[in-house]
Each structure stands twice: as C-alpha cells, then as structure tokens.
Structure 1
Amino acid sequence: MSRAAQPTKPSSDPSTGSVWTRPQRSRREQPALSRDQIVAEAIALLDADGIEALSMRKLGTRLNAGATSLYTHVSNKDELIELVVDQVYGEIEVPKVASRAEWRAAALECGNNARSVILGHPWIASVLGEMGMSYLGPNMLRLTEDMLELFESGGFDLVQGGMALKTIWSYILGIAATEAAWMTSLARSGQSEDEWLAGMASIAEQAIAPYPRMRRLHAEQTAGAVDETRRSNFDVGLGFILDGLEAQRRQ
C-alpha cells in the first residue's frame, strides 16, 4: 500500500480545543481526584459566586488539590466550562410520550424543564458564547436524542424534528438566558425583584407616558406576580412556536 493510501487514525489534535476531542487517560494514569469531583465543585462555585469567581487556582484551593491534579482532566478553563455546561444539560428531563396526542404537552413540559435548569444555574448565560464543542458532550447528545424522539412521537420525520428541535432550543436559550442574566444582575443589586420593580415603577411610567400601546401593555403585564408573569409569557411564546410547527407538519 502506498504511503498516501494508508488509513488515517481519528484526529486527537489538541488544537481543536475541546475536552471531548482529547484522548482520555487510561484508568492506571488517573489521579486520586476525579473529573466528577472537579465538575461538581466547579458548579458549586459557579452557583455560589458566579462566573467571575471561576479560576483553576481557586477551584484547586476548594478541592485542596494542586494544579497538576486539575490539568490531568482539563487543559484550561474553556474545557472546564464544556464539562460543567454538559453536566447542567444532564439535569434537563425530556418526558416520554405514549401517543401522538401527548407530544405537545410533553414539548411544553420539556421547555419548562430546560428553563428551570438554566435559571437554577444563572451563570450559564455568561458562557453561552464560550461553550466550544459542548454539543459533543454525552449529556447534550442524550438530550438531543431524547428531543428528536419526542418530535418523532408527534409525527415529525427526522429532518422536520431536527429543525423543530433547533427552533425550540433557540427560543428556550434566548428567553432563559435573558432571564438568568437579569436574575444575576438583580442578585448583585441586593434587591428582590419586587423591590427593584417598585423602585423603577414611577420612572418607567414617566418614560412610556407618550406611548399609549406601551402604557396599556405595561399595565396588563404588571397586574400579576412577576415570576408568574415570566413563566406565563414563556409558555405563551413556546405555544406559538408549537402551533407553527404543527401547521408545518400538517403541510
């Protein structure tokens, strides 16, 4: 066989910059500190103090471990972010359905499950642009497979299901990440959501005074509890998307 025709091995080039494309060490080479321990502690740090607090040095201190132990599992902070994001995706549950009639309610439940998980880890809004190849993570792959199955149960073919998944996921991330960023900003202020809105009420009312439609919309949206309104708005928006997907499927 000529040199040019020889089969090539799958690339493990570290320049791809992803924890998922780097060869794993053998069990014999693994240090006492496990990847699961690192990821769990990193998420605890992020949940408590936010993305600004995350550093390899600080994480090592919390784990009572040297940098060598951490770098055995991750080459840098970007790879660590891939791991923690995939772990968070693992918390999202996709309901199983027994008939086509159940798929829409299951899709709505899945969307709310994803929203709740993201709001439970609001720092994730800060890393959406830094997730690298997180789509190759095992939890993200499982989530994608389960969502494709959900759409298949609703009568979508595989290509339609793939487009539906991308559409819904974009909506979920857009809404939930915006909410998460808002909640993070609110936490820094030291105020509750109701306190902040009460303080801004008169300013907002003066600003929208010349705009009659915005005044009416503002009055309707502030009639209920803030968190309930955000949840309701999310459901309504997702419902619009599901309506469109159903219409497209019928065509």
Structure 2
Amino acid sequence: MCAMARPRKPLLSRDRIVATAGTLVDAEGLAALSTRRLAAELGVSGPSLYNHFRTKDEILDAVADTVSAKVDLSMFAPGDPRDWRTALHDWAVSYRAALTDHPNLVPLLAQGPGRRPAGLKVADAVFGAMVRAGWPPAQATRIGALMRYFITGSALGSFARGFVNDEDAYDPADYPHLGQAHLLAERGEQVDEGAFETGLRALLDGLAMQYEAGVRGTWPKQDSANGS
C-alpha cells in the first residue's frame, strides 16, 4: 500500500497566519498588511484566510496580542514579594522591551486592549495589583492609563536617532547648545534607555508621594470611589 504524499506546504492554521502577518508588519509596517498580500505570503488563496479570521482587523488584533503575551506579569501575582513600586518598574521595563521589539505595532497597541485576551490580562493584572496594594480603584485606573501613555510613548520612536550624524548640521551660530548632538544617533540605544529609566523613576517617585499621602488618610475624595 502506497503512503500518502505529504502536502507541499504546511497546512494553514491560525498560528501560521498570525506569525506570517507579524513578520510582514515587523518588516514593512501596518500599511503593508492586506489579506491579498498575506495570502500570497502564505501561498494560499485569499478566501482561505476567512476560515480562520473574519477580517483583516481580527488578524491584526491577534498579531498585537502576541506582543502583549510577551509582557512579564509575574510581579503582580499574589505572593510575589515585590512591592507595588518595584512591580510597576519591572513590569514597565518588560512592557517596553516587548514594544521596542515590534515598533510597527506600537500605534495599534497604544489604542488599548479592546477584546484582545493577552492585552486584557495585562490591564487586569496591573489594576488588581494596585488595588491590593491599597490604591483606591479610581487612582488604580489612572495609574494603568498613565503607565500605558508613558511606555507606549517611549516606544513610538527614538529621541536620539532623531538627530543626524553630521556635525555640520548643528552650526553653533544657530544652535549654540547642540555641539554634541551629532553624536546622539550612534548612542541611540543608550540614550533612549537612559531617558526611559529616568522618566520611569521620576514617575514612580511622584506616585510614591501620592501613596504616602493616601496612607496618612488624605486621599482626595474623588480618588476614594471607583471610576474617574
């Protein structure tokens, strides 16, 4: 009895669609993704994608959620010894690392989790940990929003690489304080990571001051209730 021939291409699956779409977006940006282009990359007909996803937006949501799934949430687990400030710091570093690995997806992730399961787990973990730490629910909500603004904003682009590596571009007659600006581009990663850490620590310092005021019983009235 003859053995059945193996298919020339791997069978189409949700995971394969998402992985291929993610590779395409990473390489060429969100605008490059279309169902026609994706089908061609997969070597299938366009309609076959709809056996797994109803729309291109559903595919993009799934791709974005793979990034959220890479974010470390262990610091928010009940029983983890880290205090709320250390937990927020370590989570923010992990979150930013996931985003900077996939910069073309940052604008989509910055819109919020929507219905994406991994994204919702991130939001749930942060909010729950802050409430357990003693933050009023309204303030815990704001902290989650604040952290997302800061982290996604830091991952949207590079400050350092916004300068060109050309000393002549920064004439001291016009820009007397930018004499070393041409060196920023080659030190981009160091500058950007340092700026993120500086901003993160300043943000957490401010939150710690608010927290201490709350512990002393001086939470603003609007912070003591759920909601904004």
Bigger helix fraction: 1
Partner of 1:174: 153
Whole-angstrom distance in 1 between the partners of 2:191 and 2:51: 46
What's the CA shift for 1:85? 1.1
Whole-angstrom distance in 2 between the partners of 1:217 and 1:158: 46
SS in 1 for 2:44: coil
Partner of 2:34: 55
Pairing 1:77-88 to 2, within 5 Å after superposition: 77-88=56-67
Q: Assess, with a 3 A threshold, how the Cα gap between structure 1 residues 100 and 248 changes in structure 2: closer, same or farther.
A: farther
What's the CA shift for 1:55? 1.5
Partner of 1:138: 117
Q: Assess, with a 3 A threshold, how the Cα gap between structure 1 residues 43 and 162 changes in structure 2: closer, same or farther.
A: same
Whole-angstrom distance in 2 between the partners of 1:122 and 1:224: 19
Q: Assess, with a 3 A threshold, how the Cα gap between structure 1 residues 65 and 111 changes in structure 2: closer, same or farther.
A: same
Matched, 1:106 2:87: yes
Compute the RMSD of aligned alpha carbons.
3.2
TM-score, structure 1 normalization: 0.67
Matched, 1:241 2:203: yes
Write the letter of the residue equivalent to 1:173.
T
Whole-angstrom distance in 1 between the partners of 2:109 and 2:85: 27
Given that 2:26 and 2:105 are in contact with CA atoms closer than 8 Å, whether structure 1 keeps it comes out as no
Whole-angstrom distance in 2 between the partners of 1:234 and 1:90: 22
Partner of 1:12: none
Pairing 1:11-160 to 2, within 5 Å after superposition: 33-96=12-75, 98=79, 102-127=83-108, 134-160=113-139
Whole-angstrom distance in 2 between the partners of 1:99 and 1:134: 25
Whole-angstrom distance in 2 between the partners of 1:101 and 1:68: 49
Partner of 1:201: 167
TM-score, structure 2 normalization: 0.73
Q: Assess, with a 3 A threshold, how the Cα gap between structure 1 residues 237 and 79 changes in structure 2: closer, same or farther.
A: same
Given that 1:151 and 1:161 are in contact with CA atoms closer than 8 Å, whether structure 2 keeps it comes out as yes
Q: Assess, with a 3 A threshold, how the Cα gap between structure 1 residues 216 and 48 changes in structure 2: closer, same or farther.
A: closer
1:61-112 C-alpha deviation (Å, 9 max, x unpaired): 2222222221223333222222211221111112426577633222122111
Q: Assess, with a 3 A threshold, how the Cα gap between structure 1 residues 243 and 44 changes in structure 2: closer, same or farther.
A: same
SS in 2 for 1:141: helix
What's the CA shift for 1:216? 7.9
Gaps of 5+ in 1: 1-31, 184-192
Of all paired residues, the percent bearing the same amino acid is: 27
Write the letter of the residue equivalent to 2:65.
D
Q: Assess, with a 3 A threshold, how the Cα gap between structure 1 residues 109 and 57 changes in structure 2: closer, same or farther.
A: same
